[in-house]
Amino acid sequence: MSILSILFLISAVNVNVKAQEGYNIALNENEEFTWEVTELDLSNFERILGFEPNFALGDRIRVIIRNIDERTAGWSLTVEFWDYKMDWGQSGSIETLFLSKYTYLYNDFIFVLTPVADYLAEVDEEMGPEYSVTQNSISKVIRAETGRDYIMTKTYDRKGIPSSEALYEYTTGRMLVCVEGSLSLIPFGFYFIGFMIVALTAVIFITLRKKQIIFKNK
């Protein structure tokens, strides 16, 4: 490796170190998420990808964040995961996810860091031409084992949680499958419950206060 190449690599690392300082994680321990298969074109899915999916329309997956550890290069998440067809009455499998602060190490993460739009925009600059970004969505062109191309698109909410993930046929744009965040369970865990209790209490207090004022003025 030439001296020029070494200097270039050092410069690139320094740029990324500065860039990653503004990124953070917006997830919390004990948060629970579910996603449901809302659309499925089974015949075209098998034709393009070359295999039968392990899910059907209406099937769901579930993730609970059990632990979050901050590391120098990012965050390590220990999650309990229930795949399609797994019994939610039984324990899920324990998996480890890593979210890197360095966008050039992006690896099709399930969750992403915040601010989401800024993080994905930098990923778009760092990664190859197979990636493209539009606001809070990131798409990737993938070559299936059949030799056909398809597009994977993930859309995230402001906390870096995927609200949807879909696969499309590359040549026609036809949707093969779509998985969306399900509201059948509490979407943001116990913190969301706490927020709703506070909000509801505030509404009740304001309503009662107005009634007292009206009563006194009569």
Residue of 43, 39, 45 whose CA lies nearest to 58: 39
Q: What is the pTM of this model?
A: 0.73
Measure the CA–CA gap between 113 and 90, rounded to whole angstroms. 30
Q: What is the DSSP string of 101-158?
A: SSGGG----SS--BSHHHHHHHHHHHS-TTEEEETTEEEEEEE-TTS-EEEEEEEE-T
State the pLDDT at residue 22: 85
Measure the CA–CA gap between 12 and 15, rounded to whole angstroms. 5
Measure the CA–CA gap between 143 and 61, rounded to whole angstroms. 25
98 has a pLDDT exceeding 90: yes
Q: Encode pLDDT of 158-194 as tens digits.
A: 999 999 999 999 999 999 999 999 754 434 333 333 4
Q: Encode pLDDT of 142-153 as tens digits.
A: 999 999 999 999
Rounded percentage of the chain residues whose pLDDT exceeds 90: 72
State the pLDDT at residue 209: 54
Q: Encode pLDDT of 46-80 as tens digits.
A: 999 999 999 999 999 999 999 999 999 999 999 99
Averaged pLDDT, 7-21: 42
More confident of the two residues 73 and 8 = 73
119 has a pLDDT exceeding 90: yes
Residue of 89, 76, 87, 84 whose CA lies nearest to 29: 76
